[in-house]
Amino acid sequence: MSNAIVDSWNNIKVLVESLELDVHKNASGNRSAGVRARRGLRQLKKEAASLVKLTIEAEKNKSVD
């Protein structure tokens, strides 16, 4: 289970790094970059929720063992 948690965390870090350029471009007025950034932020929200669920499951499994 811990490998899944670490993998999920690494996916989130990669996603945040990939969003950085689009966020900066959007701040400079690039509307297309804003669309990409918002789409990526929605994906980030889903990934973060998934990570929370994984960590809760891991804690439940440890308390049962």
Per-residue pLDDT of 21-54, as tens digits, reads 999 999 999 999 999 999 999 999 999 999 999 9
pLDDT value, residue 2: 80
Residue 5 zone, left/alpha/beta (φ > 0; ψ -120 to 50; rest): alpha
Q: What are phi and psi of 30, to 5 degrees?
A: -80, 110
Which residue's entry shows tokens 């960590």? 55
The answer to whether 48 and 12 are in contact (CB under 8 A) is yes
Number of domains making up the chain: 1
Could you give the CA distance from residue 55 to residue 6 in angstroms, rounded to a whole number?
Answer: 10
Among 62, 44, 42, 38, smallest CA distance to 8 is for: 44
Q: Which residue range is the domain that position 15 belongs to?
A: 2-64
pTM of the model: 0.85
Tokens of 39: 């789409």
